[in-house]
Amino acid sequence: MGSRIVATGRALPRTAVSNQELQRFMDTSDEWIKSRTGIGTRYTLRSGESLAEIATAASRTAIDRAGIKATDLDAIIVGTVSSEYTFPSFACQIQTQLGVDSIPAFDVAAACSGFVYALSVADTSMRAGDFRRVLVVGADALSTFVDWTDRRTAVLFGDGAGAAVLVSEPGTRGVLASLLRSSGRHWELLSCRATGVRGTLDSEVRRESEDAIKMKGPELFKIAVKSMEEVCRQVAKRAGIELDDVSLVVGHQANRRIINAVAERLGVAFEKVFINVDRYGNTSAASVPIALDEAIEQGRVHDGDLVMLNACGGGLTWGANLLRW
């Protein structure tokens, strides 16, 4: 018995922030951001907005599209590093907003790889027979962790949430294989302290630079490309399929140049690579499920297709899931 994604959903903060708007208060340019990252716009939380509410909205869409009720769920697993509470978990916050009780709800902390990790955990538990219907969510609001005076990081991140409903099913469709990797020795390439205030772009409160996201961009770029290439090759091998047979790669949307470099090294044609980083920026754990939801909406995913999900993020963490749609 395996697991299959039967529906997805996404939700975003109300406000889109363009590169031109950032240009007004930061020494940057639309040209620099687009040429180095491919990002044009991102959605960022405003004061008073709640990421838990946004994640619940994405979850409701996925649940409705799956044709089930929230009370039919057996578990809720969330990839996030952005909860406003140390406890309860973000998953418990979504659980209560969905009006569900007495099922396991827990978070997986793997930064940008959060959804890929959570999907793997859900699939493994479902194969073991623990659950039949699982809600898997990726949600983050890294814009609230940046130092808005640091142009090297502030332009990269956006906020949002994506969700998927998995059902256990016999047969050849669904999650064929997953592979998760971490390398704690590289933690200093991308990190953020647990201390400090959270600041939205419109609030007067600003996160101090020592508490903000720290990143060694160029080093991270190289490791991200190499590790995502490697994990995609390995997960294909584990599933016993050829990379040539993959119909669509839905990778973590951090940077268009990273996505293209991974595809090039894998020998995957450009038409088989889904990209929406231009409109969302890097939404961390939300990026893969948001991209998957859009890819489905745009008719890029068909029954029987092989779909590769992959991600890399702080930890470092990285991983991939190979799905037969």
Residues that bind ligand ACO (CB under 6 A): 28, 32-33, 36-37, 112, 151-152, 155-156, 190, 215, 217-218, 220-221, 224, 252, 254-255, 258, 282, 312-313
Shortest distance, position 13 Cβ to ligand ACO, whole Å:
19
Q: Which of 282, 310, 312, 321 is catalytic?
A: 282
With a CB cutoff of 8 Å and minimum separation 6, the contacts of 100 are 70, 71, 73, 76
Cβ closest to ligand ACO, residue 165 vs residue 225? 225
Cβ closest to ligand ACO, residue 129 vs residue 218? 218
Shortest distance, position 7 Cβ to ligand ACO, whole Å:
26
Q: Where are the alpha helices (DSSP H) in the chain?
A: 19-23, 30-37, 51-66, 90-98, 114-127, 151-154, 217-239, 256-266, 277-280, 287-297
Respond yes or no: is residue 312 known to be catalytic.
Answer: no
Name the residue number minimizing CB distance to ligand ACO.
217
Respond yes or no: is residue 112 known to be catalytic.
Answer: yes
Respond yes or no: is residue 276 known to be catalytic.
Answer: no
Q: How far apart are CA 284 and CA 92, in angstroms?
A: 20
Shortest distance, position 284 Cβ to ligand ACO, whole Å:
7
Task: Specify the amino acid at residue 25.
Answer: F
Cβ closest to ligand ACO, residue 235 vs residue 312? 312
Shortest distance, position 259 Cβ to ligand ACO, whole Å:
10
Which pair of structure tokens corresponds to residue 104? 């396991």
Q: Which of 92, 232, 252, 312 is catalytic?
A: 252
- Measuring CA to CA, which residue among 228, 222, 201 is closest to residue 287? 228
Q: Which of 19, 92, 112, 192 is catalytic?
A: 112
Shortest distance, position 49 Cβ to ligand ACO, whole Å:
23
Cβ closest to ligand ACO, residue 31 vs residue 244? 31
Cβ closest to ligand ACO, residue 15 vs residue 29? 29
With a CB cutoff of 8 Å and minimum separation 6, the contacts of 314 are 81, 111, 112, 187, 189, 190, 191, 192
Q: Are 180 and 121 in contact (CB under 8 A)?
A: no
Cis amide prior to 88 (ω within 30 degrees): yes
What amino acid positions are annotated as catalytic residues? Answer: 112, 252, 282
